Amino acid sequence: MGVIALAGCSGAPGVTTSALALLLSWPLEPGRRMILAECDPDGGAVLHGLLQGTLGDRYGLRNLSVAARKGEFGEAFWRQLIDLSSEDGKAESPRDRLLLPGITDPAQAASLSSVWKGLATMFRGIDADHGHDVLVDLGRRGATGPSGVLAGQADIVLVVVRNTLRCLQAAQGRVGELEERVGNVGLLVVNEGPYPAGEVQRVLQVPVVATLPFAPKEARVLSDGVEQPRHFTKSALMKAARTASTLLAQRAAVRRARLGPPSAPVRGAEVSHAR
């Protein structure tokens, strides 16, 4: 399948919450895994949101900068992964949904220039080497600046927007810049406002690939780690996320088949290192 980057803009679109919903609902064939990498230069949210601080900040992106300087990037990457498989609500889940936590302080982003480049190269090889797919959470600013290399190497760049006037106005410049710079940009619409998909496409000039409902109660399970309501996996949010995941997987597979596999796979340690 490949690498899908999610980016946002001002207007509180919910990039990380959307990324988590996709991670936990992604259609995985036996033996394949999905990694969600929090690459937001403003800082990650999952450790103290969904996971409620239970793992502290021992794992994550910040540990890779030292490893990169020592030439140990590949092995260090796998040691930073956290298993989120049990968060999908199933009693017994394979270790197939993994998280690379983001930085805990935006000031740490200044030392990550080599890390962004290393991750961009590594993500392009993970599919070929390990049978993994990758979601990259770039937050509101990560698709530009030094971390923008991750958007440039993705199979699809998905801009998360809400279909409100305020958010569509804020998204115009970001979407246009990304389409010109990296191409293959699509939209994931959080359906809070009045504008239908056709109008959103007309305004932003890129296709709406998938839609998620505006569901604050269910979203707080993912964004803040509140207790899952009964039948959470069957909620409107997670049903829509499964549909969106299938559409994205198909779109990325078609693009990968047309363009061919990554040219420079990166070898790394085995996935058994994941927590």
pLDDT at 39: 96
What gap in Å lies between CA 61 and CA 204, rounded to an integer?
Answer: 32
- What is the rounded distance in angstroms from the CA atom of residue 5 to the CA atom of residue 233? 24
- In the chain, count H helices and then E strands: 9, 8
What pLDDT, on a 0 to 100 scale, did the predictor assign at position 258? 75
Please give the pLDDT value at position 22. Answer: 96
* pLDDT value, residue 47: 93
Q: φ, ψ for residue 64 (rounded to 5)?
A: -80, -20
C-alpha distance from residue 173 to each of 13, 36, 69, 116 (Å): 15, 26, 36, 23
Report pLDDT for 238.
96
Per-residue model confidence (pLDDT) at position 250 = 85
Q: What is the mean pLDDT, run by run of 10 residues, along the chain of 275 residues?
A: 88 90 91 93 93 89 87 90 79 78 91 91 82 92 93 93 95 94 93 96 96 95 92 94 92 75 41 44
pLDDT for position 178: 94
pLDDT at 252: 80
pLDDT for residue 21: 96
All structural domains of the chain, each given as residue ranges with its CATH number in brackets, are 3-258 (3.40.50.300)
8 A C-beta contact, residue 13 and residue 40: no
